[in-house]
Amino acid sequence: MPLMYYLGLSAFMFTIGILGVLLRRNPLVVFMALELMFNAANLAFVAFAAFHKVLDGEIFVFFVITTAAAEVAIGLALIIAIFRTKHSVDIDQMSELKG
């Protein structure tokens, strides 16, 4: 299959991710949208690596997966901390900070 098919899918996933981050109000769903964006980049890396026959891109993906896991750990911990304090995680209700 030509490179453009993979890149098209990757760009599509990235766009869905952006829309999810901007439009959804539950931090867990926003979180999933963020993962989608990271994986869109991963798909692009693998597609380019196969196209150019250079291994760098595939190795990059391993690093990204590892980093994403570290981010999940921190992100979920923050969400749990906030849930314990206010028993809700709706982003629209997070309005302590304004000016």
Partner 1 sequence: MSLSDLMMVLPIAFTLVWALVLLLIDLWLPRERQGILALLTALGLAVALGLDLAQSGRSGSAFRDMVVLDNFAVFLNALYLISGLIALALGYDYLKRMEMERGEFYALLLFSIAGMMLLTQANHLILVFLALEFLSIPLYVLAGFARPRLESEEAALKYFLLGAFSSAFVLYGIALVFGATANASLTGVIEAVRSGSAEVGFLTAGAVMLLVGFGFKVAAVPFHEWAPDVYQGSPTPVTGFMAVATKAAGFAVLMRIFLNLFPGLATSLTPIFWGIAALTMIVGNLLALAQSNIKRLLAYSSIANAGYLLMAFVPYGNAQVAGQAISSMLFYLLAYGLTTFGAWAVVVALEQAEGRGLTLEDYAGLGPKYPWLGVTMLIFMLSLTGVPLTLGFWGKFFLFRTAVAAGYVDLAIIGLLTSVISAYYYLRIVVIMYMRAGEPRVRRDGWLNLVAIGTAAAVVLLSVVPVQMLELTARAVLHLP
Contact residues toward partner 1 (CB under 8 A) are 7, 14, 17, 21, 27, 30-31, 34, 37-38, 40-41, 44-45, 47-48, 51-52, 54, 56-57, 59-60, 63-64, 67, 70-71, 74-75, 78-79, 81-82, 84-86, 94, 96-99
Q: How far is the CB of 9 from partner 1 (least distance, A)?
A: 13
Q: How far is the CB of 49 from partner 1 (least distance, A)?
A: 8
> What three-state secondary structure class fits 95?
coil
Q: How far is the CB of 54 from partner 1 (least distance, A)?
A: 5
Q: Is 75 exposed, middle or buried (0-12, 13-18, 19+ CB in 10 A)?
A: middle
User: Quick one: 8 or 56, whose CB is closer to partner 1?
Assistant: 56
The H or E element that residue 62 is part of is helix 56-86
Concatenated DSSP letters for 63-89?
HHHHHHHHHHHHHHHHHHHHHHHHS--
Ramachandran bin of 65, using left for φ above 0, alpha for ψ from -120 to 50, beta for the remaining angles:
alpha
User: Quick one: 9 or 82, whose CB is closer to partner 1?
Assistant: 82
